[in-house]
């Protein structure tokens, strides 16, 4: 499925291009990620160097891709554990 066929980007004086936000978000690309560069005739192809990174940042939070949905029980257990750890940290800092 092609989402951005014909989208134009500008090359700056240093030879850099900026990938539009929709492209970065769809491909889960962030600053520091690597792209593979290929040439086919006069066509330039950029591809993510790792096809499906297991972790990516979305809305300021790190997301871990497992390829499988989490059950409600797993989500609830994880939330309970995080809340419990926060309470322990909060009570230990308030005692100091």
pLDDT tens column, 40-83: 999 999 988 865 556 777 777 777 777 677 788 988 998 999 99
pLDDT tens column, 14-37: 999 999 998 888 887 888 788 999
Segments in 1-96 forming alpha helices (H)? 21-26, 72-94
Q: What is d(CA 6, CA 21) in angstroms, rounded to the nearest whole number? A: 16
Neighbours of 42 (CB within 10 A): 5
Q: Which domains does the chain have, with CATH numbers?
A: 1-51 (2.10.260.10)
Q: What is d(CA 76, CA 72) in angstroms, rounded to the nearest whole number? A: 6
pLDDT tens column, 75-86: 899 899 999 999
């Amino acid at each position: 499925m092609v989402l951005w066929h014909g989208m134009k980007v500008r090359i700056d004086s240093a030879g850099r291009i900026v990938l539009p936000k929709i492209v970065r978000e769809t491909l889960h690309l962030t600053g520091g990620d690597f792209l593979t560069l290929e040439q086919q005739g006069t066509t330039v192809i950029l591809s993510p160097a790792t096809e499906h990174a297991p972790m990516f940042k979305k809305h300021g939070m790190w997301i871990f891709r497992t390829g499988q949905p989490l059950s409600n029980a797993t989500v609830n257990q994880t939330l309970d554990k995080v809340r419990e750890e926060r309470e322990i940290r909060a009570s230990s800092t308030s005692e100091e």
